[in-house]
Amino acid sequence: MLKTLIGRFFQGILVLFVLFTVTFFLIKELPGGPFKSGEKAIPEHIRLKIEAYYGLDKPVQVQYYRALTNLLKGDPGLSLRLEGREVTEIISQAFPVSLQLGLVAMLIAISIGIPLGVIAAWKKNTLIDYSAMALAMIGICVPAFVIGPLLADQFGRRSNLLPAVGWDPTHPSSWFLPALTLGLATAAYLSRLTRAGMLEILSQDYIRTAKAKGVGSFRMLVRHSLRGGIIPAVAFIGPAFAGIISGSVVIESVFAMPGLGTHFIKSIEVGDSPVILGSVMLYGSLIIIANFLTDLLGLWLNPRLRASR
Amino acid sequence: MVRRVMLRRLWTISAISCLFLASCQKETQVERANREGILLVGNSAEPKALDHQLVTGVIESKIITSMFEGLVADDPLHDDGAPPGAATSWEPNEDMTEWVFHLQPEGKWSDGAPVTAHDFVFAYNRLLHPDFAGPYAEMLYFIQNAQAFNTGEITDFSQVGVKAEDDFTLRVKLREPVPYLPSLTRHYTWFPVPRHVVLQHGKITDRFTKWSTPPNLVGNGAFKLTEWRFHDFIEVRRNPHYWNAANVGLNGIRFFPIENPYTETRAFLSGQLHTTYQLPSDLIRTVKENSPEFLRQEPYVGTTFVRINTTRPALSDPRVRQALSLTLDREQLCKHIMEGFFPANSLTPKMGTYEPEPKLEFNPEKARALLAEAGFPNGDGFPVFSMLISKPAARAGAEAIQAMWLKHLNIRINIQNMDWGSYNSAQQSLDFDISSAGWIGDYLDPTTFLMMWTKGNGNNNTGWSDPRYEALLAEAALKSDPAERYAIFRQAEALLMDAQPILPVAYYTRNYLLRPEVKGWHPLLLDNHPWAAIRLEP
């Protein structure tokens, strides 16, 4: 077990290093540059000075070495877009918002998706099953930029029940709509995966035996089937969680939220390499950690996997 | 039994959640802000910085003008008004090449230190210093020797035409007569910086220090910075040290950088903003029908145009450019797509007594003749060019222009969408054919529209220049009489409109939303509403 853990750790480091290198050179291929992409052109002699200030006049290998050593020191440097502000400051403000949104969205996704999948599997090939799966399909097919404004308009502008726009970490009422919008698609996937997993378990011999012995439906579902049935869903939750945190840019735009996704996209637009690299490394680490935790959870849930290791 | 207990718990949690959520929204944010005297302003995007010597944009200007004040203030009612700001009075010499400003003796920074003429000299020294590399230093090039100092031709700042005679007297010597200097000093590039605070955090040439972030930022305006959360909001609160603090109507302002105009509109309509930065043109009709009391449509000193890369074959021929311009049906574009905008008949919109000669018309027949003369009869052999756009709102206009050129000239163009940074970069490196663009004036003088078409100007981006045009601008620069200047500008603009490196389409209208309880907010061409004069009267 310890060997596996150490192996995965070094694998993660290698992945991060490759990710950093590829991203760094891709940024260099972006058209323009951080000081050539403003609305009003900066005079040439001034632009050259600014670029020299940031070390952008140095050969690319020097820039690469600097960026790498800065990152290893835990300080990606200054943003080129929000001039003079430290990347660590930007990420430390924005990431908790994305994380909080992701956690609530995941909670909503799990609370909707897994029960829906269980019910659909339990009532297989009935109207309930078809309705639940149709709902899931709608959740998968309708994009967030359609669902978000609809929810915000209905519950925010028309009924004034919840804030239509904005994010206040101290007011849970402002979390609900963006988290629901973000969580719906994941809920839909989860419900389909859970349904498939549960159907497989429910067709097992031991379930038939349990039924024959008179075990109640609820007990049978929750006690005997769920643990095995949600394994496919759990395998999906890890990467989905990382995806939810890093892919919330549409939600941030629809609900005007100060998350990391907006910084990421805006930085790419202007080639703000310190913010891009900082965000990519954070997202990369998150995905690696999430996958690792999912594997651990899978081992805990599935004794056969443990035995094979 | 277990199931019943679980169900009961679930119901209880749901009921509490619903009650909690419902109770959160009893009072809208606007209602609460009205009570607290805080103005909630939609401000479109995150500012690049709040150090006004590091920025070039309009977004930043909105926030900066709440915290800083120039020598002359903005008038809440009139575009040409010049109420006292950091200066109480000013006078020019006879030919308007030298101005003396007398500063407010009561003028204070938000930390209580006095605002002196030395702060202005320090600010201009900092912005012009080559090592500081201020991106908008050219706005100070009106000052004698400012350009030479900024480009490193001279290194002694004492040779630059700005001097503090004493603590409260500032003398500015100019390279040419500038009768509109008071209006120019309202632009943030002319604002002072607190010398004592800037130097406390670093050197004069340091681009970035902590001086312009909360809680360090010290200004001389009606409000002071209290909080800045990226992509969330920036809050300023009343500055008790402001010389005219007794007449400031608000306790604070919160600026929200809501970039998505539909999100911003929704925020306004659900009671989360007092005013928006913009209103998408496809929502104007809906707002007119449902909430006309909020809709504001006001003239704005800006022009949208089609920019031509005159270094491309075919487009280098002025007859081709004229043909393209003559087939733009500007009336139809304004009626159906750019709602509220006015068809342009030249580049510069009317400002004060300056009105350019109307040169633009819709005449497809003449256009076809010109195109044939240029070697493309009925559009035969005309290359397929791309029109570069960036904002989604520009697509409808670009498609209409594409259809007009196909219909009237039988030429085809493609539409190419790019992100904002790549779009700007492509134009600045002349790596485009045709683009959809626009320009907002920085101050109320035709030069803000005409100077950029000179050779080497960073905002020209057409590859076009003409020595005759530049000679006319140089001639106008020597005149101090506005009537004489304007007559020469009219000639220069007529020349530009004959050459057509740009095809003006429409004059801007600011379409936005404003709540009726906001008082002291009047239509202004530059849209610079002095925050100190605004009040909330619910």
Its pTM stands at: 0.88
Could you tell me if A143 and A61 lie in one domain? no
Could you tell me if A124 and A205 lie in one domain? yes
Q: Do A90 and B230 touch (CB under 8 A)?
A: yes
Name the 3-class secondary structure at B126: helix
**CA nearest B132: which of B116, B109, B149, B115?**
B149
Name the 3-class secondary structure at B478: coil
* Domain annotation covers residue A49: yes
Instruction: Using the 3D structure, point to which of A72, A101, A132 is the last residue of a domain.
Output: A72
Q: Do A85 and B22 touch (CB under 8 A)?
A: no
In this structure, what CATH number is given to the domain that contains residue A186?
A: 1.10.3720.10
Could you tell me if A137 and A261 lie in one domain? yes
Could you tell me if A245 and A119 lie in one domain? yes
- Counting Cα atoms < 13 Å in the Cβ hemisphere of A127 gives 0
Could you tell me if A164 and A204 lie in one domain? yes
**CA triple B86-B89-B94, angle to 5 deg:** 130
Indicate the angle between helix axes B394-409 and B364-373, nearest 10 degrees. Answer: 70
Of the listed ranges A21-30, A165-174, B482-491, the least confidently predicted one is A165-174
| Calpha distance B251→B256 (Å, rounded) | 17
* Domain annotation covers residue A303: yes
What is the reported pLDDT for B23? 46
Q: Do B207 and A83 touch (CB under 8 A)?
A: yes
**CA nearest B230: which of A81, A298, A240?**
A81
What is the reported pLDDT for A228? 86
What is the reported pLDDT for B15? 46
| Calpha distance A162→A173 (Å, rounded) | 6
Name the 3-class secondary structure at B66: helix
Quickly list DSSP for B143-165: BTTHHHHHTTS---GGGSSEEEE
What is the reported pLDDT for A171? 85
Specify the higher pLDDT residue, B471 or A53.
B471
The closest CB to that of A38, out of B56, B213, B271, belongs to B56
Using the Cβ of B40 and the Cβ atoms of chain A, whether some distance falls under 8 Å is answered with no
* Domain annotation covers residue A53: yes
Could you tell me if A111 and A245 lie in one domain? yes
Instruction: Using the 3D structure, point to which of A72, A99, A116 is the last residue of a domain.
Output: A72
Which of the residues in chain B have pLDDT under 70? 1-26
What is the reported pLDDT for B193? 97
Of the listed ranges A42-56, A87-101, B268-282, B499-513, the least confidently predicted one is A42-56
- Here the ipTM equals 0.85
Could you tell me if A94 and A120 lie in one domain? yes
Structural domains of chain A, count: 2
Q: pLDDT at residue A70 above 80?
A: yes
* Domain annotation covers residue A261: yes
Phi/psi for B385 (5° steps) reads: -100, 165
Could you tell me if A169 and A267 lie in one domain? yes
Size of interface A-B (CB pairs under 8 A): 176
Mean pLDDT value across residues A101-125: 92
Specify the higher pLDDT residue, A238 or B351.
B351
What is the reported pLDDT for B500? 96
Residues 224-263 of chain B with CB under 8 A from chain A are 229-232, 256, 258-260, 262-263
State the burial class of residue A75 (Cβ atoms within 10 Å of its Cβ: 0-12, 13-18, 19+). middle
| Domain of A50, in residue numbers | 2-72
Of the listed ranges A122-131, A197-206, A233-242, B6-15, the least confidently predicted one is B6-15
* Domain annotation covers residue A78: no
CA nearest to B53 within chain A: A83
Could you tell me if A154 and A96 lie in one domain? yes
**CA nearest B452: which of B138, B126, B30?**
B138
Could you tell me if A203 and A100 lie in one domain? yes
CA nearest to B210 within chain A: A84
| H helix runs in B417-466, sequence order | 420-428, 447-450
Could you tell me if A236 and A168 lie in one domain? yes
Instruction: Using the 3D structure, point to which of A72, A107, A125 is the last residue of a domain.
Output: A72
For residue B424, list chain A residues with Cβ-Cβ distance below 8 A: 32, 36-39, 41
Q: In what order do the strands lie in the sheet with B233-238?
A: B38-42, B252-256, B233-238, B223-229
Using the Cβ of A82 and the Cβ atoms of chain B, whether some distance falls under 8 Å is answered with yes
* Domain annotation covers residue A79: no
What is the reported pLDDT for A169? 82
Q: Which amino acid is present at B493?
A: E
The single residue listed with the structure tokens 């639940």 is A132
State the burial class of residue B237 (Cβ atoms within 10 Å of its Cβ: 0-12, 13-18, 19+). middle
* Domain annotation covers residue A83: no
Could you tell me if A30 and A120 lie in one domain? no
* Domain annotation covers residue A216: yes
Using the Cβ of B458 and the Cβ atoms of chain A, whether some distance falls under 8 Å is answered with yes
The pLDDT tens digits for A245-279 are: 876 888 998 999 999 988 998 898 888 999 999 99
The closest CB to that of A37, out of B212, B229, B421, belongs to B421
